[in-house]
Structure 1
């Protein structure tokens, strides 16, 4: 096992060790994966580094997962959790941020939000809406999604994603070629329905799906009563149909 440099050393063989590298080593050797640390503990470990909070944020751009209370509601506002490490930034050449992690301007972020209708493109929630647990509201952000193109190349494209969906997901990817192949296997009628959904920007559930969704929200006793009422209605419809058939036969 390779011995890690000390997070306390500001110099390494005549080369100055930056705050981001030292913060990464501190997380690995002092905090430990899966454990919580506070802003006060971080600043106490680096009393001379005025931008140490920013150095932690820079680690996230290099694949380090460090959750805040926005990512994990169980955390207090002053707490963060070191979930998993990313790039080995203490190794020369590894500290550079990936090209697709370049920051967006405010205007660029706004254009992405507008293009995605201010909806999370992973779960569909809108900005400020409450999640099903009723405990937190959504906060939208801009994610970078890897798209595998039909010609085999890949590129990163910006997409709107809520904090919850983006937490710990890493770089999601979608295979555009595989999606096109699935679409080609649809029947002409299914493709026309898909085109309508795409044109409207949403998929409207069928009436039976709406009823099913509401039924699932009922308490046990209410579900039982609904099922019995539905069965009675079905029997009544069946009887009416049989009477109609007999009437048609007698007229003949």
Structure 2
């Protein structure tokens, strides 16, 4: 892993492409060099494949960001919870209902309006805790949301504070949704969501249709 990191820095360069063949040619004596390179992600390195960047071919990868200098003494020690085993991944998928927690899509489902299917995987989400510290927690996301949410920080402190400000009846309603881990939207709410996706000219047509109701 350390040698792969140095190869990326000195031979590839941040922002540049490399292929699986080039990686294997650079380390012909090392078995599973692909896995050793993937291990760098546990130390803050970002290496995109076509799952994260659709512009890449299946055999291409991009060195996007350098993380910890793992070749330095003491820097290659994994922090607790950074490694996700196959059993851990299965348990997380079960816990999150085999759905992306950001958009709700399931594995292998088509994204609306496309022929692209989703892939679910484990993502690491920074969470601001009530005491102000940040905790890195695991969540299931699809490939699209995982890429788009890399810099996102979930604010648990703010969520809890907003719950405290809710009227009693709204807290009970929220508690029911949380207990079921699901909310059913009314027809009016679905229409509002659909209206928000329309182009400006079409939104004007909807306003005209509802003008007498305002």
Q: Distance in 1 between matches of 2:196 and 2:138?
A: 35
- The aligned residue for residue 92 of structure 2 is 112
Q: Distance in 1 between matches of 2:11 and 2:144?
A: 27
Q: Distance in 1 between matches of 2:148 and 2:205?
A: 42
- The aligned residue for residue 32 of structure 2 is 51
Residues 154/28 of structure 1: CA separation in 2 closer, same or farther (3 Å cut): closer
- The aligned residue for residue 111 of structure 2 is 131
Residues 26/127 of structure 1: CA separation in 2 closer, same or farther (3 Å cut): same
Deviations 1:94-131 (A, max 9, x none): 1122221133243x433322221111122322222222
**Are 1:178 and 2:158 an aligned pair?**
yes
- The aligned residue for residue 67 of structure 1 is 48
- Match for 2:15 among 13, 24, 34? 34
Spell out the pairing of 1:212-251 with structure 2 (5 A cutoff): 212-218=192-198, 222-231=202-211, 233-234=212-213
Contact 1:148–1:176 (8 Å) recurs in 2: yes
Contact 1:63–1:170 (8 Å) recurs in 2: no
State the TM-score, normalizing by the size of structure 1: 0.73
Contact 1:100–1:144 (8 Å) recurs in 2: no
- The aligned residue for residue 79 of structure 2 is 98
Q: Distance in 1 between matches of 2:162 and 2:154?
A: 13
State the TM-score, normalizing by the size of structure 2: 0.84
Q: Distance in 2 between matches of 1:129 and 1:36?
A: 29
Q: Distance in 1 between matches of 2:150 and 2:194?
A: 34
Shift of 1:26: 1.4
Partner SS state of residue 160, structure 1: strand
Residues 95/171 of structure 1: CA separation in 2 closer, same or farther (3 Å cut): farther
- The aligned residue for residue 140 of structure 1 is 120
Q: Distance in 1 between matches of 2:36 and 2:203?
A: 54
Q: Distance in 1 between matches of 2:104 and 2:6?
A: 38
After TM superposition, the structure 1 stretch with the greater mean CA deviation from structure 2, 161-170 or 177-186, is 161-170
Unaligned runs of 5+ residues in structure 2 are: none
- The aligned residue for residue 10 of structure 1 is none
- The aligned residue for residue 5 of structure 2 is 24
- The aligned residue for residue 163 of structure 1 is 143
Q: Distance in 2 between matches of 1:111 and 1:58?
A: 21
Deviations 1:122-152 (A, max 9, x none): 2322222222451422111123445555466
After TM superposition, the structure 1 stretch with the greater mean CA deviation from structure 2, 32-41 or 148-157, is 148-157
* Higher Rg: 1
After TM superposition, the structure 1 stretch with the greater mean CA deviation from structure 2, 116-125 or 165-174, is 165-174
